[in-house]
Amino acid sequence: MKRIVSLVVALVLSLATLSIALAEPADIANQYYAYSFYEEGYGDFSFFFHFYEADPVLGAVFYAGMLNNNMNFAGLYTVEEKPYDYACYPDRETATLGEDERVLTEGTAPYTIHFLNWNGEEFDTCGWDGSTLYNDCKKITGPGSGPMFYHLTEADGEFKDLFAAEAGMPYLDFVAVDDSTCTVSLCHNGTYTDMMVYYVDGNWQMTYDENGNAVYAFTPFDDSEDPATLTVAPDQRTAVYTNADGETTDMVNMAAPAAEVVFQGEGTFHVAAYNVDSEILLTMYDDDTCELTASVFGNSAVIDQGTYAMDEAHTFSFTFEKAGSQKAILSMTNTGDTAIILNYANAETDLGDMKVSLVIKQVAEKAPDAEKLFSFKGTYTTLDVYADSTYMFAYDKVGLTEKGTWSFENDLFSITQSNDNVITAAVDEAKTLTLNYVAVSSDQLKDTFTCSADVWEPALGK
């Protein structure tokens, strides 16, 4: 590859047709690739890509300014040494020929650029060869943007004013819990906009505190404006804004998905003051938070809230704001079933001295509609394998289930859990599969599964 690049560079230099050296693959960082045309009566229309050098805060960021920075995109990118087949116009003149004359130039670039959203999910691709970006993107587009060759361009060259006008694209947006008009946006290019009182913009610098929170220090462009800080939780769901006077405002991420309910605990508490029974509901979310509510006369109110974690005994430990630390136990219900039970106790609720037993169950996951091919045998849990390449793990005694996918390649059976962890079964001389499962919900929940050859081989067509 180096020899090829050297030959190309030598050819370019000898012809003196380019003033910009071809880039090595790793050197796409800090580069601009642009395309522009002039339309009679309308003026210049310019389009460009800016690839940032990877930094420890955001990673490798790209910006695409379409239609003179009027249609813009930003996110993350990766470069892969993988051939990319493209079909683009080499210039505006070719792109505007008559339908019978207009022909796309087809070829194969040695590198593939992957464009990702801020969650790391790919949404577009294009080709690159070190000096030309073959922009046939399907989603990163604007009127007149392509498919077209985009050429490596000097940052301080003819498009420097266009590049300088690069618009800050938010990658995190927060809104105040108590006032939807108060917002803060953190942008891809190290800038921010602050609408907590009125519009303020500037630059941000980020550090981490001792709790793993990201602390963004705001420096306004206008020296007459006050600085501020935004402390963002590790999961980026919540943040705390602190103004120059030290006053704080709780904020939530406008794009963060709502936490999902994964477990619920139910019980009944007799409210002596009203001589009625109150339905008590413990709701446990997938972000490890929980909330205890009581319903009386059709009205519901929050009694307590806090966090929880699964412990070594495969039950739960809770830390409530009012009741403090509480621990669930494995116990028998009135029907003789084994269940996880939390004996919640709090003498200072609005309904009086509350002591209530809550039976905790996982919010039921529906088993796949596909045919069940076979099952592994575990010590106290089960793992069923389905024809749609999914599996379901179940701890029936406490109503806990997990789903994932499986594959069978090169005579190896593997499962991929919801956290992307891959577990591959061992095979002995008798072709018995042995799978050491560690639950996603808690690494303390483990079991060893086996399945004999006479069961799994026919099911998988062996």
Tell me: the pLDDT tens digits for 381-412? 899 999 889 999 988 766 678 889 999 988 89
Beta sheet of 400-409, edge-to-edge order: 422-424, 412-417, 400-409, 390-395, 382-386, 372-377, 446-451, 433-438, 426-427
Strand partners, 193: 185, 201
**Which one of 301, 330, 362 terminates a domain?**
362
Q: Are residues 330 and 413 in the same domain?
A: no
Residue type, 36: S
Split into its structural domains, the chain has a count of: 4
Quick check: helix, strand or coil at residue 3? helix
| CB 314, CB 302: distance < 8 Å | no
For the cut 60, the answer to whether the pLDDT of residue 151 exceeds it is: yes
Query: In the numeric block, which tokens belong to residue 405?
Result: 């996918």
What is the per-residue pLDDT for 445? 78
The arithmetic mean of pLDDT across residues 36-55, rounded, is 91
Measured between alpha carbons, how far is 291 from 285 in angstroms, rounded to an integer?
Answer: 9
pLDDT, greater one: 279 or 298 = 279
Provide the 3-class DSSP secondary structure of residue 441. coil
Return the pLDDT at 312.
Answer: 63
Q: What is the DSSP string of 406-439?
A: EEEETTEEEEEETTS-EEE-EE-TT--EEEEEE-
Percentage of the residues of the chain whose pLDDT score is greater than 70 = 89
| Per-residue confidence (pLDDT) for residue 1, from 0 to 100 | 36
Confirm whether 367 is domain-assigned.
Answer: no
Res 87 pLDDT > 90: yes
Pick from 56-60, 194-198, 206-210, 211-215: least confident: 56-60
Tell me, what's the pLDDT at 453? 92
- For 456, the 3-state DSSP assignment is helix
149 and 23 in a common domain: yes
More confident residue, 142 or 74: 74
Q: List, in order, residues 6 or more apart from 148 with CB less than 8 Å away.
A: 35, 47, 88, 89, 90, 91, 92, 95, 135
Q: Is 160 within the bounds of a domain?
A: yes
Residue 345 lies in a domain: yes
134 and 101, same domain (yes or no): yes
pLDDT at 16 over 60: no
The reply to whether 113 and 181 lie within a common domain is no
The reply to whether 316 and 413 lie within a common domain is no
Q: Residue 198 above 80 pLDDT?
A: yes
| Domain limits for position 243 | 170-253
| pLDDT at residue number 18 | 34
How does pLDDT run across 90-141, given as a tens digit for each residue? 999 998 888 888 899 999 999 999 999 988 889 999 999 999 999 999 999 8
**Which of 146, 164, 182 lies at the terminal end of a domain, its last residue?**
164
The pLDDT of residue 288: 85
Whether residue 54 is found in the same domain as residue 150: yes
Q: What is the pLDDT of residue 24?
A: 44
**Residue 15's pLDDT band (boundaries 50, 70, 90)?**
very low
CB 308 within 8 A of CB 284: yes
Same domain, 224 and 246: yes
Residue 390 in domain? yes
What percentage of residues in the chain have a pLDDT greater than 90?
A: 59
- Which pLDDT belongs to residue 196? 94
Nearest-5° angle of CA 419, CA 425, CA 426? 145
Q: E strands, 225-275, where? A: 228-232, 238-242, 248-253, 261-271
How large is the average pLDDT for residues 40-44?
Answer: 86
Q: Are 369 and 443 in contact (CB under 8 A)?
A: no
pLDDT at 257: 60
Tell me the pLDDT band of 150, cut-offs 50, 70 and 90. very high
Grade residue 144 by pLDDT with cuts at 50, 70 and 90.
Answer: confident
Q: Is 363 exposed, middle or buried (CB count within 10 Å of its CB: 0-12, 13-18, 19+)?
A: middle
- Which CATH number does the domain housing residue 341 bear? 2.40.128
DSSP letter (8 states) at residue 160:
H
Contacts of 360 (CB under 8 A, 6+ apart): 263, 264, 265, 282, 284, 316, 328, 339, 340, 341, 342, 398
Is 41 in the same domain as 138?
yes
If asked whether residues 191 and 227 sit together in one domain, one would say yes
125 within some domain: yes
Match 């709090």 to its residue by tokens. 346
Domain stops at, among 344, 362, 380: 362
Rounding to the nearest 10 degrees, give the CA dihedral for residues 193, 195, 198, 201. -10
| Of residues 11, 14, 51, 10, the one with CA closest to residue 30 | 51
Average per-residue pLDDT for the chain: 86
- One-letter amino acid for residue 1 of the chain: M
Rounded CA-CA distance 129/455 in Å is: 52
Cβ neighbour number for residue 200 with a 10 Å cutoff: 19
Task: Note whether 49 and 110 are same-domain residues.
Answer: yes
Contact status, residue 106 vs residue 94, Cβ threshold 8 Å: no
- The answer to the question of residue 21 being in a domain is yes
Q: Are residues 145 and 223 in the same domain?
A: no
The verdict on 7 and 150 lying in the same domain is yes
